[in-house]
Amino acid sequence: MIIFECDYTEGAHPEILKKMEETNYVQAPGYGTDAFCESAREKIKKACGCETADVHFLVGGTQANFTVISSILRPFQGVIAAESGHINVHETGAVEGTGHKVLTLPSEDGKITADQVRRMYESHWDDAAHEHMVQPGMVYISHPTENGTLYSKEELEELYDTCRERNLPLFLDGARLGYGIMSEASTLTLEDIAALTDVFYIGGTKVGALFGEAVVIVSPALKKDFRYMIKHNGGMLAKGRLLGIQFDTLFTDGLYYKVAEHADRLAMRLKAAFQEKGYGLRYDSYTNQQFPILPNAHMEKLAEKYSFSFWEAVDEGHTAVRFCTSWATKEEAVRQLMEDIQDL
């Protein structure tokens, strides 16, 4: 079975494993206060073009999301997000578990707009009973989205301006950020994201690391006591060096960008193969996630040899599925899949 189900089925990039072995017996203090973490922080701040940012390493994406969100919101506030957003759909109520409601907006492609945020915010304050309702306190987006779609620089600028006008911190989930930045359709750089958000994170788990995410706090107002929040929410790793080593390696000689570009390039080949066969696409993704709409018989045939994700039933005879490439996907596996698609 060849797996295209997600982008974290493999372990870690060999350069990371090599560095971990080389430093295995080096003694270092815990909880992210070591030299490896400090080196990684400096490299990330330089890559973001923001020397004043605070960089924190957390063990996973869910921990990063609910730790950041709960650190920003007051008890009576909620977070605005797309109805398909990861915090709303695939985190088992983790944000709600901290006492904060996810305030969802409809979205066909996984993105939300500045106008939607503006209307939700104004609708709350225009309601005479607003004191009896959850107050919008921040905005959450992901880039790429759950559907592999991308925010343009113009869209992010509009969102950021709207959030600033209404004092709503903007948080960007970057679990797959590398795949978004390196997409052939991307108009956003890492520096752009640092300039147009209040806080975001750089995903490692899905982009070459064994595990871990790097939270980058840009807004000075959000920095205070964040390490307390990490510890309180179970996101602080005692052997923090393991996170520092990974991100230090990923941000050496452009490795993070190289492995992300590899996955995107192979995904574009798969996208072309599906389109050449005449299949429609549920979402027009230019990242490592592809969502072809397959006749059910063809889906079942491919499932004999490949593992991929069910997405949604389109009609009685067709299903949208997800094929996901990663930093470790082999060229030969993609070639074989393309041949099998043509043979259907």
On whether both 87 and 169 belong to a single domain, the answer is yes
Q: Taking the C-alpha atoms of 50, 221, 244 and 34 in order, what is their torsion angle to the nearest 10 degrees? A: 110
Angle at CA of residue 110, ends 108 and 112, nearest 5°: 90
On whether both 167 and 284 belong to a single domain, the answer is no
pLDDT digits (tens, 9 = 90+) for 94-145: 999 999 999 999 999 999 999 999 999 999 999 999 999 999 999 999 999 9
The β-bridge relationship of strands 199-203 and 170-173 is parallel
On whether both 265 and 240 belong to a single domain, the answer is no
The β-bridge relationship of strands 280-281 and 77-82 is unpaired
Long-range contacts of 13-18 (CB under 8 A, 24+ apart): 13/208, 13/209, 13/249, 13/250, 13/255, 13/259, 13/327, 13/328, 15/249, 15/255, 16/208, 16/209, 16/210, 16/245, 16/246, 16/249, 16/250
pLDDT digits (tens, 9 = 90+) for 208-264: 999 999 999 999 999 999 999 999 999 999 999 999 999 999 999 999 999 999 999
Q: What is the pLDDT of residue 140?
A: 98
CATH of the domain at 264: 3.90.1150.10
On whether both 171 and 214 belong to a single domain, the answer is yes
Q: What is the pLDDT of residue 334?
A: 97
Domain boundary among 234, 255, 276: 255
pLDDT digits (tens, 9 = 90+) for 65-99: 999 999 999 999 999 999 999 999 999 999 999 99
pLDDT digits (tens, 9 = 90+) for 269-293: 999 999 999 999 999 999 999 999 9
Note the pTM of the prediction, 2 decimals: 0.96
On whether both 129 and 90 belong to a single domain, the answer is yes
Residues spanned by the domain of 261? 2-7+256-343
Amino acid at 111: K
- Contact criterion met (CB below 8 Å) for 325 and 267: yes
On whether both 126 and 213 belong to a single domain, the answer is yes
Q: What is the pLDDT of residue 289?
A: 98
Please give the C-alpha separations between residue 143 and each of 9, 32, 199, 309, in angstroms, as whole numbers: 21, 26, 13, 20
On whether both 185 and 249 belong to a single domain, the answer is yes
Domain boundary among 255, 271, 290: 255
The Cα–Cα gap between 283 and 272 comes to: 14
The Cα–Cα gap between 248 and 16 comes to: 9
On whether both 241 and 325 belong to a single domain, the answer is no
Q: What is the pLDDT of residue 95?
A: 96
Confidence of residue 15 (pLDDT cuts 50, 70, 90): very high
Number of domains the chain contains: 2
- What is the maximal distance between C-alpha atoms in the chain? 63
Q: What is the DSSP string of 191-238?
A: HHHHHS-SEEEEE-TTTTSSS-EEEEE--GGGTTTHHHHHHHTT---T
Q: What is the pLDDT of residue 180?
A: 98
On whether both 65 and 188 belong to a single domain, the answer is yes
On whether both 248 and 295 belong to a single domain, the answer is no
On whether both 329 and 206 belong to a single domain, the answer is no
On whether both 147 and 277 belong to a single domain, the answer is no
The Cα–Cα gap between 236 and 109 comes to: 34
Domain boundary among 211, 231, 255: 255
pLDDT digits (tens, 9 = 90+) for 148-193: 999 999 999 999 999 999 999 999 999 999 999 999 999 999 999 9
Q: What is the pLDDT of residue 57?
A: 98
CATH of the domain at 240: 3.40.640.10
Q: What is the DSSP string of 16-34?
A: HHHHHHHTTT----STT-S
Q: What is the pLDDT of residue 214?
A: 98
Please give the C-alpha separations between residue 233 and each of 69, 82, 211, in angstroms, as whole numbers: 11, 24, 17
> For the chain, what is the radius of gyration of the CA atoms?
20
